[in-house]
């Protein structure tokens, strides 16, 4: 049976990943600080800390893969259309000679990667909230789509 203190610490470990919206790399720094401080004191906190960090590291890997797909595609499309002409009129910005027709397939793959990244961030937010609720109730939560980097 977990104490209230253990439940709160484990819950804050999950919620600390939301600091990424305010502090760069906060989703790694704060869970690591909380987890390393309490992992030897509580098996419940140790389990949830590992789950939190594994989930964040898995999301980092998925994000890097999506970026490695999307960024080169968009760079290639722009470089293929380098003789494009940008015109600034009074209030308008017009790009001429930019041809999407030969690159629709590539652009579709790149936009799909960007869309999947957006979905991944939304799912991450809700899974963190869900894990926090489960943990505050004293349940051991295991994130889906997680690679067990830390065992």
pLDDT digits (tens, 9 = 90+) for 3-51: 899 999 999 999 999 999 999 999 999 999 999 999 899 999 999 999 9
At 46 the pLDDT is: 94
Residues 6+ apart with CB under 8 A from 1: 138
**Predicted TM-score (pTM) of this structure:** 0.83
Q: What does pLDDT average to over the chain?
A: 88
Task: Give tens-digit pLDDT for 69-81.
Answer: 999 988 887 777 6
At 85 the pLDDT is: 63
Closest CA to 55 of 111, 126, 139: 126
At 76 the pLDDT is: 82
Could you tell me the CA-to-CA distances from 2 to 12, 46, 138, 139 in Å, in that order?
15, 12, 7, 9
Residues 84-95, mean pLDDT to the nearest whole number: 68
Q: pLDDT confidence of 92, banded at 50, 70, 90?
A: confident
At 23 the pLDDT is: 93
At 86 the pLDDT is: 64
Q: CB–CB of 68/74 below 8 Å? A: no
Residue 61 has pLDDT above 90, yes or no: yes
């Amino acid at each position: 049976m977990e104490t209230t203190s253990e439940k709160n610490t484990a819950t804050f470990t999950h919620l600390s990943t939301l600091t990424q919206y305010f502090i760069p790399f906060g989703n790694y720094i704060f869970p690591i600080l909380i987890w390393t401080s309490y992992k030897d004191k509580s098996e419940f906190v140790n389990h949830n800390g590992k789950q939190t960090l594994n989930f964040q590291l898995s999301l980092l890997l998925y994000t890097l893969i999506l970026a490695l797909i999307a960024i080169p595609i968009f760079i290639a499309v722009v470089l293929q259309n380098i003789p494009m002409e940008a015109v600034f009129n009074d209030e308008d910005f017009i790009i001429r000679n930019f041809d999407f027709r030969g690159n629709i397939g590539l652009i579709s793959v790149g936009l799909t990667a960007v869309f999947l990244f957006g979905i991944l961030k939304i799912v991450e937010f809700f899974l963190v909230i869900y894990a926090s609720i489960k943990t505050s109730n004293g349940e051991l939560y295991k994130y889906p789509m997680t690679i067990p980097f830390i065992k």
